[in-house]
Amino acid sequence: MKFTFRKSLSYIVLILVMLFSACSPQAKPVTLEEDAQKMQVTVSILPQKWFVDRIAGDLVITQNLVGSGDNPHTYEPTPGQMALLEKSDLYFTIGIEFEEAWMDKLIATNPTMKIVDSSAGIERIPMVGGHHHHDEGEEHDHADHDHGTEDDEHEAEALDPHVWFSPDNARQIAENIANALIEQDPKNESSYANNLENLLEEIANTDEEITSILQDITRRHFMIVHPAWGYFAHAYGLHMIPVEIGGNEPGPADMAKILEAVEDYQISVLFVEKGSNMSLAQSIARQAGISEIIEWDPMAYEWAENMLSLGRDLQNALH
């Protein structure tokens, strides 16, 4: 079977932006002295950098640790990143796994750096595919039972760390970042506050556009290899069917349930996370008769465009 494999539209947009930037007049170069006076900020993942850049503009210098294509669960910072971390005034966490393993080392590198949880106030949802369960009193559904194994039944309920894929959560993240920047740099409070207001409007407009994009879909179940988009599904009334079970490849019994779900929900597209096991995705697609595989990037920089791209991909897959 031949597969149609394509990357999400956000990649094309990024290339066009880079080409346009290359042809645009160059901004006045920033001197080393001016850079040295700016607040230094480090964030865990690339999407957080987008929020900081939108709110702070050129008032701060921001580095991210986990980038596009990196695994946020197992990432290890490079020596160069650790060197830059020594100069950071603020570090924004977001609750991903690598922080648990590395935070003590990051703090030891720069004990004076202030740690701020950019996800504070966000209520996390269970990780789809993290264990075997379904709500009491509800009909047993493929999207809810996560085709889990018996071993999963004994595991504690895992919470989904991918909180940035929800407009409501994005608003909370933006406000947390803005408040921390203002507290650290009160002389520029008006700039941060104005930029926050513009960002919140952009998030609201993005939310409205996605709702409009998805208003005429005829199906609501989509299949994904790694279930990183639970908050997006929750926000827009969709159901995510994961292939991975607790981060592991499906066994024979799980595979049977996946094939059953493909038939029941007329799955025609398989979504796969950038950097994940493409051979697994192709094997699942081949067995299930799925002809199209689309790659999504959970670490894409442009939050708004990435969210819109997800909406367009799902519109095409679920029409």
Round to whole Å and give the CA distance between 243 and 261: 11
310-314's contacts with Cβ under 8 Å and 24+ in sequence apart are 310/8, 310/165, 310/210, 310/229, 310/232, 311/209, 311/210, 311/213, 311/214, 311/236, 312/9, 312/213, 313/8, 313/9, 313/269, 313/271, 314/214, 314/217, 314/222, 314/238
Round to whole Å and give the CA distance between 118 and 173: 5
Q: Which helix (H) or strand (E) holds 81?
A: helix 79-85
pLDDT of res. 3: 60
pLDDT tens digits, one per residue of 214-233: 999 999 999 999 999 999 99
Banded pLDDT at 35 (limits 50, 70, 90): confident
Higher pLDDT, 41 or 29: 41
| pLDDT > 90 fraction of the chain, expressed in percent and rounded | 74
Residue ranges and CATH numbers for the domains of the chain are 4-8+140-157+213-317 (3.40.50.1980), 34-118+162-209 (3.40.50.1980)
pLDDT of res. 142: 43
Task: Assess whether pLDDT exceeds 50 at residue 154.
Answer: no
pLDDT of res. 172: 98
Round to whole Å and give the CA distance between 246 and 244: 6
Is residue 40 within 8 Å of 114, Cβ to Cβ?
Answer: no
Banded pLDDT at 107 (limits 50, 70, 90): very high
Extract the tokens encoding 27. 């901004």
Extract the tokens encoding 18. 């880079």
φ and ψ at residue 270, rounded to 5 degrees: -110, 125
Strand-pair partners of 270: 223, 293
pLDDT of res. 9: 53
Task: Assess whether pLDDT exceeds 70 at residue 27.
Answer: no
Task: Assess whether pLDDT exceeds 60 at residue 244.
Answer: yes
C-alpha 44, offset from chain centre: 12
Is residue 122 within 8 Å of 177, Cβ to Cβ?
Answer: no
Task: Assess whether pLDDT exceeds 90 at residue 119.
Answer: yes
